[in-house]
Amino acid sequence: MTQNSYVINGVDANNIALHDFGDLAVPAPESVSEVKVQTSMYDASVGGAGGGTVQVVTKSGSNSLHGGAYEYFRNEVFNANDPNLKAVGLGRPEMRRNVYGAALGGPLRKGKTFFFAAYQGTREANGATAQSLYKNVMIDPQLTKDRSAATLLNTYASAGVTSIDPVSLALLNFKLPNGQFLIPTPQTPDGRVTDTAVSTYHEEQFNANLDYRLSSRDSLAAKFFFANAPLFNALGGAQFDGGSGLPGFGTDVDVDNRVLSLEEIHSFSNTSMNQVRFGYNFIGRNELPREALKDADFGMQRVTAGMDPGLPLIILAGFGSASIGSPAISLQPAFRPHRCLILCLYNAATITFEREVRFATPNGAFREAMWVRMGSLCSILSRIFLLG
């Protein structure tokens, strides 16, 4: 939650629904001309923020043709290993990031019309983030790779287990495509597991600016930012629910941004001017859990299975323990705040007057599944879980 404000080319680019900076439009550094951060003493053009303001202005063309191309990369060979992975004998987590792009700006008609355009692409595979790395997750120290009903009955007979529920037995023996158990075998004597699963990020963004000088007193500017950024969180990762703490139930998240700024500036004299701006900001976030398992496949029954057929989020024990299943809540909204700004500047003591009209049309829905808690703080494979 934040009370700070984010502005791109004079347009309010904030997420009015979630009030955070997580899904905001972020133009490529090579397309940014100016960044201004204010924590107090704002003028009227950036009103409405209870905290600080971040103002970003993208580049425009000029009478000279300029351009360039670039690429940045990261690779796990340049990183130190995570101490938790090293402690259990695992190597560096995968961390591969490529950021590449190009920019070009210049005149369409010298002294009259100018353009600027930029593209940036990002590809990332990352096993070192909070959505990829799970550390010291509590698993029952008695659990082994032998998960037959006979072995489980013999192991947990002292806990009062007299039979193994078929659903619990199926969950314990289910394996992911990589051959790993859904509920992994502990790596340490105290029954904990540490490992990593790869999350991915893929972004395509474009930035286009057009400036036109109507006369010595009037100018027009149109600036448009476009970005689509699908990502995959290997460990849950929904906005309002962390989801599974173990691999197998990741979340696909698609974040889309559109920011449009149309501006006309008229100079009355050397001491006064008027600026009129229309802005449009679109932020879309869609979350879709990957539901490789369905509760019906294991014989589980619940009233919401027809609408949400995936495995519900199952918390196997208390804080710090394992959880499996889809997030209890996922988000499918799209928010469209519009901004129309009339800005008047007078040279007298640099007095600024602002008239602004905003329209906001949040559209969205929540996908609600369910969660189940099974177990206790002392043992994940509790009597309740094994007996069903």
For 42-71, write each residue's pLDDT tens digit: 766 666 666 788 899 999 999 999 999 999
Q: Is the dihedral of CA 143, 147, 150, 152 positive or negative?
A: positive
| 381 has a pLDDT exceeding 60 | no
Give me the DSSP letters along 109-162: ETTTEEEEEEEEEEEEEESSSTTTEEEEEE--TT--S---HHHHHHHTGGGT--
Per-residue confidence (pLDDT) for residue 363, from 0 to 100: 58
Chain-centre distance of CA 348, in angstroms? 45
> What is the model's pLDDT at position 235?
85
Kindly indicate the confidence band of residue 270, based on its pLDDT and cuts at 50, 70 and 90: confident
Instruction: Give me the pLDDT at residue 361, please.
Output: 60
Helix (H) or strand (E) holding 213: strand 199-213
Closest CA to 289 of 264, 273, 310: 310
Q: Report the pLDDT value the prediction gives residue 310, as an integer from 0 to 100.
A: 73
- pLDDT band for position 318 (cuts 50, 70, 90): low
**pTM (predicted TM-score):** 0.80
Here the tokens at position 125 are: 């595979």
Residues 195 and 181: beta-carbon distance below 8 Å: no
- Residue 162 has a pLDDT of 82
* CA dihedral of residues 137, 143, 148, 154 (deg, nearest 10): -150
Model confidence band, residue 168 (pLDDT cutoffs 50, 70, 90): confident
Q: Is the dihedral of CA 142, 147, 148, 149 positive or negative?
A: positive
Task: Output the average pLDDT for the chain.
Answer: 79
The strand pairing partners of 253, in sequence order, are 231, 287
Q: What is the DSSP string of 362-381?
A: EE--EEE--EEE---SS-SS
Q: End-to-end distance of the chain based on CA atoms, in angstroms? A: 40
Res 379 pLDDT > 50: no
Name the token pair of 312: 């519900």
Better-predicted residue by pLDDT, 241 or 221? 221
Distance, CA of 156 to CA of 170 (rounded, Å): 17
pLDDT at 125: 95
**Mean pLDDT along residues 129-136:** 84
Provide the pLDDT confidence category of residue 369 given band limits of 50, 70 and 90: very low
Question: Among 20-29, 169-178, 242-251, 321-330, where is mean pLDDT lowest?
Answer: 321-330
For residue 272, pLDDT beyond 50: yes
| pLDDT top residue among 92 and 136 | 92
Helix (H) or strand (E) holding 87: helix 83-87
User: CB of 314 within 8 A of CB of 374?
Assistant: yes
User: Is it the case that residue 6 has pLDDT exceeding 80?
Assistant: yes
One-letter amino acid of 301: Q
User: Sorting pLDDT into bands at 50, 70 and 90, what band is 152?
Assistant: confident
Q: Is the pLDDT of residue 135 over 50?
A: yes
> How much is the average pLDDT of 367-385?
45
- For the ranges 12-26, 85-99, 181-195, which has the lowest average pLDDT? 12-26
Task: Write down the residue that tokens 């992911």 correspond to.
Answer: 176
- The tokens for 4 are 């700070």
- Banded pLDDT at 100 (limits 50, 70, 90): very high
| The three-state (H, E, C) secondary structure of 227-270, written as one string | EEEEEEECCECCCCCCCCCCCCCEEEEEEEEEEEEEEEEEECCC
∠77-73-100 over CA atoms, to 5°?
165
Give the three-state DSSP class for 30. Answer: helix
Q: Which comes out higher in pLDDT, residue 350 or 254?
A: 254
pLDDT at 326 (0 to 100):
73
What is the average per-residue pLDDT within 270-279? 84
How many Cα atoms within 13 Å fall on the side-chain side of residue 181? 18
pLDDT band per the 50, 70, 90 thresholds, residue 177: confident
More confident call, 163 vs 103: 103
- Confidence at residue 245, expressed as pLDDT on a 0 to 100 scale: 78
In terms of Cα–Cα distance, which of 313, 317, 374 is closest to 140? 317
Nearest to 184 by CA among 197, 201, 167: 197
Helix (H) or strand (E) holding 84: helix 83-87
One-letter amino acid identity for 209? Answer: N
**Strand-pair partners of 212:** 113, 220
Q: What is the pLDDT of residue 362?
A: 57
Q: Are 309 and 293 in contact (CB under 8 A)?
A: no
Average pLDDT over residues 121-139: 88
- Reported as a pLDDT band with limits 50, 70 and 90, residue 331 is low
> Which residues is 58 bridged to in the sheet?
32
